[in-house]
Amino acid sequence: MKRKPSYSLTAFVLVLCAALFAPRFAEAQDESTPSLKTPTQEDFERQSRQFRGLWVSTVSNIDYPSKRGLSAEELTREADAILDRAVKLRFTAIFLQVRPMGDAFYPSKLYPWSEFISGKQGQAPDQNLDVLGYWVAAAHQRGLQLHAWINPYRVTVGKKELENLAPDNPARLNPDWTFKHGDRFYLNPGVSAAREHVVKGIVEIVQNYDVDGVHIDDYFYPERKIEEDVKTFEENNRGFDSIEDWRRDNVNLFIADVNRELHKVRKDVVWSVSPAGIWANKESHPLGSETRGNQCYFNLYADVRKWVKEEQIDAVIPQIYWEIGFKIADFATLTDWWSDVVAGTDVKLYVGVAAYRLDPNSKSAAWRDLKELDRQLEYMAASPEVSGQVFFTEHSFRADRPAGDAIQRYGDEHGWIGVEPSSN
pLDDT bracket for residue 23 (50, 70, 90) = very low
What's the mean pLDDT in 4-25? 38
Distance between CA atoms of residues 203 and 29, nearest Å: 44
92 cis-preceded (ω within 30 degrees of 0): no
Whether the model pTM is above 0.95 = no
Do 160 and 137 touch, CB atoms closer than 8 A? no
pLDDT tens digits for range 272-313 = 999 999 999 999 999 999 999 999 999 999 999 999 999 999
Pick from 204, 174, 57, 162: which is nearest to 116 by CA? 57
Going from N- to C-terminal start, the domains of the chain cover 11-413
pLDDT tens digits for range 359-379 = 999 999 999 999 999 999 999
Distance between CA atoms of residues 270 and 213, nearest Å: 4
Pick from 348, 266, 274: which is nearest to 311 by CA? 348
Task: Give the DSSP per-residue string, 7-25.
Answer: -SS-HHHHHHHHHHHS-SS
Do 348 and 387 touch, CB atoms closer than 8 A? yes
Domain at 11-413: CATH code: 3.20.20.80
